Chain A
Amino acid sequence: MACASSLHLRRSSLPLRATAESPVAKAVLIGITLVFLGLFLLLPLVVVFQEAFSKGAAAFLHALRDPYTLSAIRLTLLVAAIVVPLNTVFGLAAAWSLTRFRFGGRSFLITLIDLPLWVSPVIGGLIYVLVFGAQGWFGPWLREHDIRIIFAVPGIVLATVFVTFPFVARGLIPLMEAQGIKEEEAALTLGANGWQIFRRVTLPKIKWGLLYGVILCNARAMGEFGAVSVVSGHIRGKTTTMPLQIEILYNEYQFAAAFAVASLLALLAIITLILKTHAEWRAERQLREATR
């Protein structure tokens, strides 16, 4: 073909490549992207910290030392400490059974695991109210035995489990599917038992993918609002997590205090993004090594 190859064009001093936009178009596109992402992503993040410190560092620290805020932080940490390990075990078990074996209904199970990602978080709370609430299935029985699930910590844990259980499983399934089972089978023929295979062979191969899922699961568990809001009952100092405490403070016009709590969660989000980017990069490398 008469047309020069792109390599040649790149080396030539032509101002314009045939397969690139003109500098003006390029500048406009970059400009649009900067404005769009700046306006919708960067600015809200800046606002959180700006508003949190709007009354000074002393007011910021004072807001965080409020007993209700402290109890909200404790509850959020407690919920995450229960939910993340549970969902990690579930994610590992689901990924192991779904990628190491073939059985009927496999794709249905994968769809079921995706469910919380496409239903409204409010529905995630609603379903537990319908089971354990005062008018729910077990409502009368629970009242007789004086067990509280809805408007108490167990309900918050359940709703958070529902919203966050897909993350670890979804992080692991594509990775383990691509890595295959050759090494595990080799270990089996060498006499390793199931636990040894998992710990010595599988776990080192999937650790970055696992970390990726755990990070996302944790971020969502600490930040969940819709589902938790339905089941919590908003009892101050007892069933308010950090996002709910933000809502209460905000509705009481204590804006600086609301943003002070919000800034902690925003900081968590930034750390999550950094760790996630790193884990993603390492997981991709593990995947490339596996498929090579």
Chain B
Amino acid sequence: MTNFQAQKRCRRHALPGLGLTLGFSLLYLGLVVLIPFSALFLKTATGGWLHFWETVTSPRVVASYRVSFGISLVAALVNGVFGVIAAWVLVRYRFPGRRILDAIVDLPFALPTAVAGIALTALYAPNDWIGSWLKPLGIQVAFTRIGIFVALTFIGLPFVVRTVQPVIQDLVAEVEEAAACLGANRWHTFRRVIFPALLPSILTGVTLAYGRAVGEYGSVVFISGNLPFKTEITPLMIITKLEQYDYSGAAAIGFVMLVASFVILIVSNGLQSWNNKRHGIS
């Protein structure tokens, strides 16, 4: 009864502006997103099935999937380890420079990718900065797959830290105390109590970092050297097709990437709702 009255009152006092704001939003999204994306789907379709299949399974493009999807996974997992350590240190410990370090975690969001790209290349080029130290060891980073890994780690770093940080903040201290009282040492407490509580957020962060890394272009193309079959990433293949005026080929690779991103999105949404549920219970 009260619910019904509240609903009725809600309707009578409905705020104005639904038509205007929703109409504008839909128009905007339609022009900016829906029409261009239907062009992508139609262009993929008009190229014909054979052309589509030949394009997306050509050896050079398949090699680029291996680079993009494979190295992104390695970078996301490395972020999974070091991102959790960084999040832990930033939440639990107090030391000079902590706040600056905390703010700088978001740098990959704010720094234009082209700037990050040339900066990382300068750092790791064989005769500069870190590159010159690694050269005697026989390690070359720039213009190899290791370089792509470095750029993708940079890009994905904030995702893990920022997803795990709030969960560490909300960990209930009593649970850790109880574990200690029951005789667990610190490592046991971490492995059996803290880690399981953090796991959903870690996986969510890793998935987000992975999704971002797969599509990344600007920071990678400078450091990768772009050697066919070795260090070409999939977004670069789209640009290569466009430069050859093969629009339907570019659309075909774009379509594959879109499907891959969609799968990653679904996984990340699933993990996020698992995370929220777990979080709500604890």
A residues apposed to B, CB below 8 Å: 1-3, 5-6, 18-22, 25-26, 29-30, 32-34, 36-37, 40-45, 47-48, 51, 89-90, 92-94, 96-98, 100-101, 103, 109, 112-113, 115, 118-123, 126-131, 133-137, 158, 161-162, 165, 181, 184-185, 188-189, 193-194, 197-198, 216, 219, 222-226, 229-230, 242-244, 246-247, 250, 255, 258-259, 262, 265-266, 268-270, 272-274, 276-277
Interface contact A277-B85, CB-CB below 8 Å: no
Query: Which residue in chain B gives the minimum CB-CB distance to A271?
Result: B110
B111: chain A residues at CB < 8 Å are: 44-45, 223, 265-266, 269
User: In the complex, which residues 95-109 of chain B have their Cβ closer than 8 Å to any Cβ of chain A?
Assistant: 95, 101, 103-109
A130: chain B residues at CB < 8 Å are: 36, 39-40, 43, 247, 250-251
Interface contact A6-B177, CB-CB below 8 Å: yes
Tell me, in angstroms, the Cα distance from A6 to B238 when the chains sit together: 58
Interface contact A41-B104, CB-CB below 8 Å: yes
Interface contact B89-A29, CB-CB below 8 Å: yes
Partner of B112, one of A118, A189, A223: A223
Identify the interface centre among B15, B120, B247: most chain A CB within 10 Å of its CB: B15
Query: Which residue in chain A gives the minimum CB-CB distance to B222?
Result: A250
Q: In terms of DSSP, what is the predominant structure of the interface of chain A? A: helix
Query: Which residue in chain A gives the minimum CB-CB distance to B87?
Result: A33
Report the 10 A-B pairs with minimum CB-CB distance, sorted nearest first.
A223-B112, A120-B215, A18-B180, A127-B36, A225-B218, A3-B181, A194-B16, A226-B217, A44-B119, A97-B22
Segment among B25-33, B51-59, B195-203, B274-282 that sits at the interface with chain A: B25-33
Q: What size tier do the contact residues of chain B reach?
A: 35 or more
Identify the interface centre among A120, A121, A268: most chain B CB within 10 Å of its CB: A120
Q: A118-B212, A246-B118 are in contact. List 16 more A-B contacts (CB 8 A).
A: A3-B181, A19-B177, A40-B154, A41-B107, A93-B28, A118-B261, A119-B261, A120-B217, A120-B234, A120-B261, A130-B43, A185-B15, A219-B112, A223-B115, A225-B117, A269-B111
Bitwise interface map of B from 64 to 99 toward A, beta carbon under 8 Å scored 1, else 0: 000000000000000000100110111001010000
In the complex, B123 has a CB within 8 A of chain A:
yes
A109: chain B residues at CB < 8 Å are: 25, 29
Tell me, in angstroms, the Cα distance from A97 to B90 when the chains sit together: 37
A-B pairs with beta carbons under 8 Å apart, 26 shown: A29-B89, A33-B101, A36-B86, A41-B104, A47-B123, A93-B28, A119-B257, A120-B216, A121-B215, A123-B235, A127-B39, A128-B36, A131-B35, A133-B247, A134-B245, A184-B15, A198-B17, A225-B113, A225-B218, A229-B239, A230-B242, A242-B112, A243-B113, A246-B115, A269-B107, A277-B103
State whether A165 and B32 are in contact (beta carbons under 8 Å apart), knowing that A44-B123, A44-B154, A269-B111 are contacts in the complex.
Answer: yes
In the complex, B153 has a CB within 8 A of chain A:
yes
Partner of A269, one of B36, B115, B117: B115
State whether A262 and B118 are in contact (beta carbons under 8 Å apart), knowing that A90-B25, A97-B18 are contacts in the complex.
Answer: yes
B123: chain A residues at CB < 8 Å are: 43-44, 47
Q: Report A51 CB to chain B, min CB distance, Å.
A: 6
Interface contact B257-A120, CB-CB below 8 Å: yes
In the complex, B271 has a CB within 8 A of chain A:
no
Tell me, in angstroms, the Cα distance from A67 to B122 when the chains sit together: 25
Interface contact B247-A135, CB-CB below 8 Å: yes
